[in-house]
Each structure stands twice: as C-alpha cells, then as structure tokens.
Structure 1
C-alpha cells in the first residue's frame, strides 16, 4: 500500500480539471493516475477540514472510485454506494468540484448521493446495508427490459453486519441471476472495528486462510480477491474481470480508512470518520465545541450503571457516536455492539428484559424506523422494560433528509404502553433517564444533535409537567417539547411586549398525553404546541385531537415540521426556516391571537 503522505498546504487544480467528468478520467494515461489520486486527497483534506463532513471514509476509497469510473460507464452503468458517505470522490469525478465549498451547508452539496444533484447518483443511500437490495432490483429491471447496463454496488464490511445485506445476497447468488458487481470495500471498520462472525470470516479471507472456506461462493456468487484497494492497476484488472464474468460477483478490496492524512490514520477512535471544521495542519477542531447532548447522556448512563447492576446497554455499530464509550470502559461485560442491526438490537433487548435485566438501546432517532416492528411486537406487545435513547432526534442538520429524526414522536406514540420523554436541558436529561429506567414497561428518551443549552429551572411542578413561566390570566399557553423550551421562553417575553401574556410549560413526558396536562391546557383560550417532529401524528396533533374529543371552546395551534423530506443545513437555520425559533413562534402566536380576537 502507498506510503503515508501529508496534505499539501492548499489545493492546486491540475489533473482534477481533466478528470472532472468520467470521460476525461478515462482519457488519462495510467501513469497519471497516482498523481490524480494525490490531488484528490489534497482536495478532500482541504475542503472537508474547512466545512466538516465524512473525511476518513473518502480518503480510503480514492483509488477504488477512480477505478470504478474508468471501468464502468456511469450513469449508464449504475454505481450504488452503501453507505453514501463514501461518495465524495464519486461526486468530485462527476462534475461537482465547485460544490465542495458549501458541502453539507444550506444550498450546497449533500453529504450523500443525491438524485437531484446528478444523474450519476442512483439513490440517496445513507442508511447502511440497503444498497445490495437496490442493486438486485435494478439488475433484474435491466434484464427484463433487455438493457445492457451493469449494476455495481460498493458495500463496506461494516454494512455486512446488517441483515438486509444477507437477505439480498441470499436472493442474488446463482449463475442464473442477472449480472451484478458487488465491490466489498473492506477496511475492517464501520466507526470502530467491525464486530461479529462476518468480520471474523472476512479477516480469514484477508489472510487467505484456505481452511475457512468462502461464504460468498457458498451462496452462489463468484469471488475475486482480496485485491489491494489502493493499487490502481490491480483494481482495474479485477473490476474488468468481474464485469466480463456476466454474473453476480464479489470483488473483495482491502482499503485503509483515512489513508493519506496523518491525523486520520492516527485516530484510533474512528479514523476521522466524521469531523467538524478542523485546522488542516494539526487535525484539531478550529474552535472548541460546547458540551453535547450525547456527552451529557454518556455521563448520566455511567452514573446509572454504577447504581444498577441490572442496567445493560446495546448499540448498532455506534458505541462512541451514541455516547456509550465511557459505559463500555466502566462496564465492558454489560454492553453489546450488535453491528448495523437495529432490528436485532431491539429484539435482543426484549430478550434481555425478559431475562430480568433493564436494557438501554442507544440509537439514532432515524434508525429506529428500521426496528419499528420489533418495538411494536417484540417489546410493546409484551410490555417489556426496554429504554430507547434516541440521539439525533428532531432536526439533525448537515446530514440532511435521511438523518433528521423528525418522525419518532409520531411513530413511537402509537405503540401501546410506550412512554416518551423529551428533556429540555442536561439536568432534565438525567432526571428523565432515571425515571425511564424505573418504569416497568417500554420507554424512550429523545434529544437532538446539538450543544446542550443552559439549564431552564421550573417555577413550579404541576403533577407530571413543569411550569417554566407563569403569566397572569389564561390567554396563551406554550407547550414546549424538549430543547424548544428555550425559544418558547424567548417568544413568551416577546409576546408580552405586544400585550399578549403567555405561560410556558414543559410536558416532560410527551407520550402518552397525560390527563393532567390536557386538563391544564383546557383552561387556556389558545394552546400552542412547539416540536421538531412532523405535524402528522406528533405531540400537537395528538393534543388537538384530544381537545376536540373533549369539546370546549379552547383552541390548539400545533407548530411542527412539514410533512416532507427536509434538506441539509444547520439546525439553527432549519428551525428558523420552519418557524420553530423565537421569531417564528412569536409571529405564529400573534397571527392566531389576532384571528381569535377578531372572531369575538
């Protein structure tokens, strides 16, 4: 493999201008390709360190992506990435170099493949383990339509810990299936080193251990490799051979995550898998960040683990990103990384609960969508004490539509007996997490990807909810979900300047709706709910439904996210765009209040 290189101080366009489209890349002589690969690495280091993004995965696939675009004819031939965070080099070689100035920022390039950006992007694939199923369908469609188009899937060894990959492989193997090239990008990691029996088998294949057999061949797939994923001639030869086999084939490529940038190569945690803006020369953050919600959870779960020997944790290949690293160090025999297998994680948690333990499943909100059946039927139906901790709930920001956690309040609320908490600050996170693990049934605690704001003390506790600001009269009630309590308090102060008095309440537990909260809201002429969840089925919609069933004259105005996929941008920008900041809340209340006054 190539020697480690240090980044150039600034990118200077050269061969990249020629290789900005696949046609120009194919025209380059083979002797120019190592220099092109170096230019790409310099470019990636400079641009991604400036904006933040997925650096390590893309530094590891430079030669592989060059080879793919020289051997196959994108977009006629379909190249599908699993997952799409390794597609930056693909974007660079398909005409999007200028867009990297605003990577993952509002109006700029997506951090994942995007069909709205380019015909070269086949699917917006950022949930792992799905690409092989896409490819299986595409290959069959081309076969039925009589089209001579190749389908290529780039799948990581980490993604092979997910069940969908094996469902697709089981459905794809055999010489009678349409041609499909499966490029196995094996760097031995997802975030951390890949775990499980599949990882052990890949290690045996990497070591050319003939006694281990070959699972891919046993499934009816052809197999080529292992191939040095940074050796361009070897890669092109292997890919051309795979293309010419005219059947489903695995090309096993060995790559190094973070290759070419010393700070990434030396990052034992995750090889700079995903970074914020960094100083290129040092690999250190450009400005220190505040305490995150993830860090706050990590501290609380360790404290709980010390108090309760029955508390155990599970995560789906995200021990560090989900805040479980400290818990792992403190209680290594009480935490399991199940790989990218959310369905298995939830039902395994159900088994742990049935066995007398209290499992905490730490997972991103968006990934709970994959395990809904397990949550409903394996946990909910049996009313088992499993606690979900949903990181990245609500507006996530730069990762875009696939990573916003904007559905959980709608989906979780329909699971009978499941209680959902939304802490407004770090103190309430600890408080509600403790309450959640004491509940003898299923619970969830949700919080965003953000810096924890200041503590917001209550002026009173009324039954199960907190009153954060009490105004005279019963004119307007603001019900704030989680961290949106802060802009609600700001809005209440602004409303006072307009002669509108608003009380602010934090429900704490947002599902199911408590009778005490419903009775309290019914005392107000206008109740406004504020949440970063879709409006349909959310907290506000359920409160409005309950109010309508109860009758009465009070009005409910739900402020929530629209029922569409939202693009990438900062959390602050997106909340403001959709009226969930102090200004938007104030304007919405004033507008409705004016309407109500006019109707008197």
Structure 2
C-alpha cells in the first residue's frame, strides 16, 4: 500500500472505504465492535495522515473504535484473527504492536494518559517533535475522570490534540447536560473566524471599545459548545464534519501547529457506511456474527441469559414494591436494566459512564427508605470501589449490587474479565456476598437481595449459567447457609456461584472414573457456613474449590482463613480458581481449556492426584 502521507484526499477517502469494508467483512463473520469503529474510520485515517503513530502517542478512549488504526499499522492480514483466541485483540495492546501506545478497555482514561505523556515529552525536551493525540467519544465525557484531567491540562497548557468523536450516541443514549452541549449544532467556521478577528481587533482598540468587543465575543461563545472547554483553558475548534476528509486534515494540522491543548470537536455518524447500522443506539455497538445483507444475527440462542432473568425478576418485584429503585452506568441493555427504565422511568436510571456516581447516588435513596439495586459488570464495579467502601458499606446502607459478567467474558479479554470482584469485595466490612448456582436460584437471589437489610452483592455470569435448572431443587437463601447437592463421596467439591456448575460437571466425570464426590454449594462467601465446613473436615480429607474468580483472595482463600487451625490440619484444600494472571481474550471454552479449567481436564487432574496419594 502507498504511504498514507503521500496520498491525495480522494485516495484517503478510498482507503477509508476499503477499511470499512474490511471491518464489516470480518466483524460480520466473527463478531466484534461495529458501529463505533465504522463511525471513527475517517477520523483515524486523518489522524494517521497528519500525525506519526511511530512517535506520537495515539490514545484511543476505550479503544473498541480503533479497528481502523489496527488496519493501518501492519495488521491487515492479522485482522482476520480479531478477538479470536491467540489472535489480535479488539482493543489497543502494546504487546501486540508498537503502534499501540497503551492498553485501553475501560472508558474515560485517555485524557489522563495524554497529560502523563505530555509531561514525559516535556521532561525529555521533545516538545515540537512529539504530541499526544487522543480520540474520545461523547459518551466517555460523562465520566468525572475526564474533567480531572482537562482541569490540569488547561492549567499546565501541555500541547495535546484531543479529538472529540461526537456521534450523539455512546453505547446507550448519552446522558446529561454535557452531551447536549457537545452536540450543539452551531457551524464552526463562523465562530472560529469571528474569534480570530476579535482577538486581533482587541489589540488595536481603546480600552472601552476593547471591553465591548470582548463582551460581544464572550456572548457569542456562550451559545457555542466550546465554552465548556475554553473556560477550562483549552482551545476549541468545531464542530466539524467528521467524515469530510479535507476539512479533517486541515483542522488537525491547525491543531497540531497551535502547540497548546486543543479540543477538535468532530461530529460523526455511528455505523457510517453500513446503512442498516446507522442511527441505532445499542444494537450495533457489539455484535455476534450476522448476515451482511439482512443484518440478521447468525448466533444461535442458548436460552434465557442470566442478565435477562435478573432484569425480568427485578421488574416483577418492582411491580409489587415501589420502594425498589435502580441504577446502571451506560449499560441498560447489558445489565437487564433497560426493561425497568422503560417500565418505571422515575425509579430506574442510567447515569452514563459514571460508576462512582452511580454507586454513591444510591446511598441516600437507601437512607430514605428505598431499596436500590446497582446493576453493573464486575470489571466496571472496580471503578466504584471506594464508593462501595465509603458511601455504602461504612453507612451500612441496604444497597444491593447485582454483578453481571462475573467470570470469563470471552472475546473482550483482559480488561473485561470479571475475575476480581470476590477478592476486592470480600475485604469490606458490612458487605454480604452470595451467589446463585442456576437460573432458579438466580431468581431467588434477586428476591433475597430485595429484602436484605444491609449492603449485599451477588454475582452471575455472562450468558447462561453452567448448571442446568431443575437438576437440583431451587431452595431459598438463608444467611450464611451452604447446601449439599451431593452428600456422599470420597472427596468434597465446593462450588460458589457459577463454579457450582463446574463442580457438578467434574463430579459427573469423576463418577465415570469410579470416584464418588460430594458437592457443596457454598452459596455465601461472606459470611461462610463455618458449621458445615468444620463438620466436613471430619468426613472429607480432600477438598477441591471452584469459582469463576481469582484464586488470590478468592473462595478457597476465604475458607482457609476461616477454618480453625486444628481443622486445617485434617484436610488438603486445592483451588481450581483463576491463577494470578490477566486472562487473555478468545472463545470462553478455548480460554478455559488453555487454563486447564474444563471439567474433563480437572477430573483428570483429580484422578491423578488421588492415585498418587493412594
């Protein structure tokens, strides 16, 4: 391919179209993020034309929109392996390419990274040679971290170019006044020329006239989207057409030469170039395989997902109890909260990408007698950790955390795997942790949480539960009570949450090998059923623990910490939880196989250990 910097505007436009076609072809066959990356393609082509990704830090917020960047940086053929196990990531990843400056998978980190990069560039005396370039979506602007970074950037005046990709739709519809300001439709050429001429005139006017001209310029600025940024000390250009290649290049070149922090506000169309996907809010953000002609999904349904069951059950309870309220952070469909927002718009809220605010805002509702549910992915609840500690648990308020995507989530990979919530929540006083094992107990978990008088959290996986419903009777939760599903055996398998399904599957395979295993559903990891666990030490000397979470600080660790020393001397505990590593992306089964966590792999290991021990 011809060097991008030697291309004409028509050639760049043709290149952008080729890139969109490549993205559409691969994503339609394998799944991935579609509408966001199609909408950002022209911006990314212009970025690579104006800036140099070999030396300028390219920072993509979230980075699921960076497919065009990957295709422009020596990954055209490798793109065929997008999000596949052993293939390239769906996000930027420095270990994959030197052109990927930083890992990104969570929202609203890019401006902080740009500030850090700009500081390093200044300290290395490389200003004028290198400049951080950010692409951030309007949805990410709802997170407070962005404004913390902009505040310092506007004060310190580090050179940086921040491209605001404004498509008026993040994953879900953008929330709040900021998104409305950013989507203001005033054309930019008039304002930019007016501002420039005013500043020049002020140098020659007497004080009184200069004062009046300045007030006029400020009055015009008051009705432009730039006021927010210019009042923070940043230069603002826009809005411009994010699909006009010539205008994009001219604007980015201007921003680069200003040697200041500059916001370039570009308005784009999500799903650009694929008519079926243009204009939708959520459906085309992340997709499985689909038919390009019709847009119909090719993915077979595996029945009701845990997310659906949670949403439907909570809606059922909310019909009967108007004290039940809830919040999500820009994931209404992903958490099952969309159903409730439509049915009870005054009691359920999407606050945008603002996990900290989401958690804290539910505290006063609980204090005022309501029953709040915070529906959030495991990986994103990490962002609200201090708020769980300081604003909910410390006050001992009855907020329920419904933790979706607990465990391995597959193709999204390291930044999204729900591995850590057991460990980071288990250490918090006043917080009760429990988990359902199947669809029936998930419904019971929602009921239990709705009545629970203090802070609690329950977790469930992406997609379907591993244990099929109906195999064991769904019994109500009792605080700190575990339940035997299989009472007799030579060894004890202990499961927590979706790990119960893995334990049962292992027990089935062990039975085929002539080994009988008892199965205990722990149900609660805090508080533990110490009575059952202590009594089990007299009956079983070999314990094997299963949960879809990290081993360090996980379920086996909790059990070992809680048992009396004399009890621990009687038993040997082995955990089949996740090892101390970040879990790669790929098909969930292939990822689990690589980690030795498939039931048949675990059963083989256990049989081998039993044979060695005699």
TM-score if structure 1 supplies the norm length?
0.92
Question: Equivalent residue for 2:223?
Answer: 212
Conserved 8 A contact 2:498-2:547:
no
- Three-state SS of the structure 1 residue aligned to 2:346 is helix
Give, in angstroms, the shift of residue 173 of structure 1: 0.2
2:56 to 69, 74, 77: 77
Give, in angstroms, the shift of residue 205 of structure 1: 5.8
Give me the whole-angstrom Cα distance separating, in 2, the residues matched to 1:165 and 1:65: 21
Mark the structure with the bigger radius of gyration: 2
- Three-state SS of the structure 2 residue aligned to 1:182 is strand
Q: Decide whether aligned partners of structure 1 residues 206 and 527 sit closer, same or farther in structure 2, where only a CA change above 3 A counts.
A: farther
- Out of 392-401 and 458-467, give the one that drifted further: 458-467
Give me the whole-angstrom Cα distance separating, in 2, the residues matched to 1:409 and 1:211: 48
Question: Equivalent residue for 2:288?
Answer: 276
What is the number of equivalent residue pairs in this alignment?
572
Coordinate RMSD, CA, aligned: 1.8
Give me the whole-angstrom Cα distance separating, in 1, the residues matched to 2:566 and 2:453: 30
Query: Is 1:465 aligned to residue 497 of structure 2?
Result: no
Give, in angstroms, the shift of residue 587 of structure 1: 2.4
Give me the whole-angstrom Cα distance separating, in 2, the residues matched to 1:54 and 1:370: 22
Question: Equivalent residue for 1:592?
Answer: 609
Correspondences of 1:240-319 after superposition (within 5 Å)? 240-265=253-278, 268-270=280-282, 272-290=284-302, 291-319=304-332
Deviations 1:153-197 (A, max 9, x none): 1111111100100000011004x5221111111111211221112
Query: Is 1:559 aligned to residue 573 of structure 2?
Result: no
Conserved 8 A contact 2:542-2:573:
yes
Give me the whole-angstrom Cα distance separating, in 2, the residues matched to 1:118 and 1:349: 42
Give me the whole-angstrom Cα distance separating, in 2, the residues matched to 1:405 and 1:206: 42
Give me the whole-angstrom Cα distance separating, in 2, the residues matched to 1:586 and 1:538: 21
Conserved 8 A contact 2:497-2:523:
yes
Give, in angstroms, the shift of residue 286 of structure 1: 1.0
- Three-state SS of the structure 2 residue aligned to 1:333 is coil
Query: Is 1:493 aligned to residue 473 of structure 2?
Result: no
Structure 1 runs, 4 residues or longer, greater than 4 Å off: 205-210, 459-463
2:561 to 531, 545, 556: 545
- Three-state SS of the structure 2 residue aligned to 1:124 is coil
Conserved 8 A contact 1:532-1:580:
no
Give me the whole-angstrom Cα distance separating, in 2, the residues matched to 1:460 and 1:107: 39
Give me the whole-angstrom Cα distance separating, in 2, the residues matched to 1:515 and 1:484: 19
Give, in angstroms, the shift of residue 509 of structure 1: 2.0
Question: Equivalent residue for 2:182?
Answer: 202
Give me the whole-angstrom Cα distance separating, in 2, the residues matched to 1:351 and 1:459: 37
2:168 to 181, 185, 188: 188
1:503 to 495, 508, 518: 518
Question: Equivalent residue for 2:376?
Answer: 363
Question: Equivalent residue for 2:550?
Answer: 534
Give me the whole-angstrom Cα distance separating, in 1, the residues matched to 2:532 and 2:275: 55
Give, in angstroms, the shift of residue 548 of structure 1: 5.4
Give, in angstroms, the shift of residue 245 of structure 1: 0.2
1:329 to 342, 354, 357: 342
Give, in angstroms, the shift of residue 459 of structure 1: 6.5
Query: Is 1:29 aligned to residue 4 of structure 2?
Result: no
Segments of 5+ residues of structure 1 without an aligned counterpart are: 1-16, 19-23
Correspondences of 1:417-456 after superposition (within 5 Å)? 417-453=430-466, 454-456=468-470
Conserved 8 A contact 1:511-1:539:
no
Give me the whole-angstrom Cα distance separating, in 2, the residues matched to 1:414 and 1:232: 52
Segments of 5+ residues of structure 2 without an aligned counterpart are: 189-219
Give me the whole-angstrom Cα distance separating, in 1, the residues matched to 2:47 and 2:578: 39
- Out of 111-120 and 492-501, give the one that drifted further: 492-501
Question: Equivalent residue for 1:10?
Answer: none
1:166 to 140, 147, 153: 147
Give me the whole-angstrom Cα distance separating, in 1, the residues matched to 2:146 and 2:237: 19
- Three-state SS of the structure 1 residue aligned to 2:492 is strand
Give me the whole-angstrom Cα distance separating, in 1, the residues matched to 2:345 and 2:239: 33
Conserved 8 A contact 1:343-1:374:
yes
Query: Is 1:414 aligned to residue 427 of structure 2?
Result: yes
Conserved 8 A contact 1:507-1:517:
no
- Three-state SS of the structure 1 residue aligned to 2:95 is coil
Deviations 1:5-58 (A, max 9, x none): xxxxxxxxxxxx44xxxxx11122222222222211111111111110000001
Give, in angstroms, the shift of residue 349 of structure 1: 1.1
Q: Decide whether aligned partners of structure 1 residues 210 and 172 sit closer, same or farther in structure 2, where only a CA change above 3 A counts.
A: closer
Give, in angstroms, the shift of residue 585 of structure 1: 2.2
Question: Equivalent residue for 1:150?
Answer: 131
Conserved 8 A contact 2:288-2:299:
no
- Three-state SS of the structure 2 residue aligned to 1:383 is coil
Give me the whole-angstrom Cα distance separating, in 2, the residues matched to 1:423 and 1:459: 12
- Three-state SS of the structure 2 residue aligned to 1:494 is helix
Give, in angstroms, the shift of residue 493 of structure 1: 2.4
- Out of 573-582 and 427-436, give the one that drifted further: 573-582
- Three-state SS of the structure 1 residue aligned to 2:101 is coil
Give, in angstroms, the shift of residue 271 of structure 1: 5.4
Q: Decide whether aligned partners of structure 1 residues 471 and 128 sit closer, same or farther in structure 2, where only a CA change above 3 A counts.
A: same
Deviations 1:241-289 (A, max 9, x none): 00000011100000111111122115x3425000001111111111332
Give, in angstroms, the shift of residue 207 of structure 1: 6.5
- Three-state SS of the structure 2 residue aligned to 1:60 is helix
Give me the whole-angstrom Cα distance separating, in 2, the residues matched to 1:396 and 1:57: 20
Conserved 8 A contact 1:478-1:503:
yes
Q: Decide whether aligned partners of structure 1 residues 65 and 531 sit closer, same or farther in structure 2, where only a CA change above 3 A counts.
A: same
Deviations 1:347-400 (A, max 9, x none): 111121112111101111001111111111111111110111111111111000
Deviations 1:418-450 (A, max 9, x none): 112221211111001111121111111111112
- Out of 85-94 and 99-108, give the one that drifted further: 99-108
